[in-house]
Structure 1
Amino acid sequence: MDSRLKIIAGFKGGESYVKDLYVSLPFRVVSVGQRKTDKKLYQMVMSSSPGILDGDHYYLDVSLEKGSSLQLQSQSYQRLFNMKDKALQELNVTMEDDTSFAYVPHPIVPHEDSNFKSKANIHIGNDSQIIISEIITCGRKHYGEVFKLKRFQNLMEIYHNNRLVVKDNVVIEPELIPISSIGNLEQYTHQGTLIFYSTKDNVDKNGLIEEIVEAAAQHIEEMEVGVSAMEDNGFVVRALGHGGELMYNFFLHVQEILWSLE
């Protein structure tokens, strides 16, 4: 089934708002920022489907007009069901100047024989920032489904002034690449990636990295975390662990640190 979500964040009178919104089944979008006082826009993407099914093709289009800030949230874990063929997701994000976008969704749970590819194309403007993440689990561990998926891929590209500045490609294909081998996940069952990129001039990249490393040190027995700095104002946070909830809450904490930047 082809499913579409399109949201445009506008900016007027000093605050961000939903300028336009279109969804088709199974999507639904609701506002979750009623108690916020920062004038930014908070929206939750919900779904009437139990998960992504064989043949599904999700199209997500997000646009931020100049001055706006949008934080998208997910409703729950995203399940990838058993598939004979595959399912696809395309995320296109267009950010004008002086914008902020964040999307830190719940972990993905690939069931046995699932085959899923996600592609994100992000165009960021000047004086702007993006926070985006993903967490991939081993599957339904309590059902004995530990990395029994066919294939998972998440390809993310971020462009600034039509120049590719960030490219991240996560591929898990257990039949071709032993997932527990050295250089892969080894003994871990969950992998997380959070990317932060900014075109602002006043970002204290090194200070932010130190703060995140200090926060990760509190979970050193449950999770391994590394941060790789980019040449520009950005970095990538990688996490390995055995549980999705701890990793997800840690990413939410990192998002909170970065989201408050002016």
Structure 2
Amino acid sequence: MNSRLHLIAGFKAGKSYVKDLYVSLPFRVVSVGQRKSDDKLYQMIMSSSPGILDGDHYHLDISVEKGASLQLQSQSYQRLFNMKDKAVQELHISMEDDTSFAYVPHPVVPHEDSNFKSQAKIHIGNNSQIIMSEIITCGRKHYGEVFKLKRFQNLTEIYHQNKLVLKDNILIQPDLIPINSIGNLEEYTHQGTLIFYTTKEHVHKEHLINTIIESAGKFQNKMEIGVSEMDDNGFVVRSLGYGGEMMYEFFLHIQEILWELN
């Protein structure tokens, strides 16, 4: 199934709002955070499908106009079902100047023989920031499906002024790359990545990183967490653990810290 989602976040009279929205099955988008008084836009992506099926091709186009702030949320864990061929997702995000965008979705659950590729291309304007994350689980552990997927790939590229400033490529293919080997996941069953990049000035990156590391202290002996600092105003948080919910709550906490910057 070819499915499309097109969302434009506009900005008028000091408030962010849904300027345009188009979805096809199985997508649905609803407003959340109505009680918030920060005049930012909060939207949840929902789906009538139980998960991503063989042959699915998702096209998601998000535009954030000058001055707008958009935070997307997911409905639930994203299941990748058994596939004979593959499924694909393409995400395109266009951010004008003075904008903010965040998307911290629930974990992905790849079933046995699933084959999925996701590609995100983001163009960020001046004085703007983006928060993106992904959590990959081992699959349905209680069904004995521990990394029995065929292939999983998530490629993220961020551009500023048409220059590539960040490229992150996650690839899990157990028949070629032993998942439990040294340098891969070893004994862990869940992997998480959170990317923060900003073109704003006077962002105290070192303070933010220290705050995140301090917050990770309460997960000692439950998750391994590291932060890679970029040359400019950005960093990548990596986490390894044994459960998706704990990792998801940690990423939501990081999002809350970073979202307050805009």
TM-score (norm 1): 1.00
Output the CA distance in 1 between the equivalents of 2:92 and 2:46. Answer: 18
Q: Which letter does structure 2 place at the counterpart of 1:181? A: S
Output the CA distance in 2 between the equivalents of 1:19 and 1:221. Answer: 46
Output the CA distance in 2 between the equivalents of 1:218 and 1:237. Answer: 16
What does 1:141-160 align with in structure 2 at a 5 Å threshold?
141-160=141-160
Q: Which letter does structure 1 place at the counterpart of 2:252? A: L
Tell me the alpha carbon deviations over residues 44-71 of structure 1, each in whole angstroms, 9 at most, x when there is no partner.
Answer: 0000000000000000000000000000
Question: What is the match of residue 161 of structure 1?
Answer: 161
TM-superposed deviation, 1:221:
1.4
Q: Which letter does structure 2 place at the counterpart of 1:117? A: K
Output the CA distance in 1 between the equivalents of 2:105 and 2:68. Answer: 20
Question: What is the match of residue 56 of structure 1?
Answer: 56
Q: How many residue pairs are counted as aligned between the two chains?
A: 262
Q: Which letter does structure 2 place at the counterpart of 1:18? A: V
Question: What is the match of residue 97 of structure 1?
Answer: 97
Question: What is the match of residue 242 of structure 1?
Answer: 242
Output the CA distance in 1 between the equivalents of 2:236 and 2:209. Answer: 10
Output the CA distance in 2 between the equivalents of 1:257 and 1:116. Answer: 31
| Two-structure CA RMSD over aligned residues (Å) | 0.4
SS at match of 1:218: helix
TM-superposed deviation, 1:183:
0.0
Pair 1:134 & 2:134 matched? yes
Q: Which letter does structure 1 place at the counterpart of 2:174? A: P
Output the CA distance in 2 between the equivalents of 1:216 and 1:173. Answer: 29
Question: What is the match of residue 27 of structure 2?
Answer: 27
Question: What is the match of residue 44 of structure 1?
Answer: 44
Residue ranges of structure 1 left out of the alignment (5+ in a row):
none
TM-superposed deviation, 1:202:
1.4
TM-superposed deviation, 1:168:
0.1
Superposed structure 1 runs of 4+ greater than 2 Å apart: none
Output the CA distance in 1 between the equivalents of 2:193 and 2:43. Answer: 22
Pair 1:10 & 2:5 matched? no
Residue ranges of structure 2 left out of the alignment (5+ in a row):
none
TM-score (norm 2): 1.00
What does 1:51-200 align with in structure 2 at a 5 Å threshold?
51-200=51-200
